Amino acid sequence: MTAHLGTHDVQMSSSDTGAISRCEKLEDPFNDARFDPMFTVIFLGLMLVAAVLKGIGRSFILSINEIAPVDGSVANLQLIE
């Protein structure tokens, strides 16, 4: 069986057990980055933007949790100005 991956052809035998060595697992991300560096830069940039947005969202939730009443009553709530 032959798998076509972009410009690379990968030969798979029927006796292949699917075991991948640790070295191959560590080399794969670097091989992908060498194959299409622009995609890698865009992907890492989007991951960074998502992490920053997640941090901003958590900061809003933490501030709301600090001023929200624990027992659920709104009568004793004092707004911080």
List, for residues 18-72, the tens digit of each pLDDT value.
Answer: 788 888 888 888 888 888 889 889 999 999 999 999 999 988 888 877 777 666 6
**Digit-coded pLDDT (tens) for 5-18:** 555 555 655 555 67
9 — phi, psi (to 5°)? -110, 130
72 is a domain residue: no
Among the listed residues 4, 5, 1, 25, the one whose alpha carbon sits nearest the alpha carbon of residue 15: 1
pLDDT at 60: 85
79 is a domain residue: no
Q: Domain containing 37: what range?
A: 2-67
- Tell whether the torsion through CA atoms of 43, 46, 48 and 51 is positive or negative: negative
60 is a domain residue: yes
Cα gap 56→50, rounded to integer Å: 10
- Tell me how many degrees the CA angle 36-41-44 measures, rounded to the nearest 5: 120
pLDDT at 1: 47
76 is a domain residue: no
78/40: higher pLDDT: 40
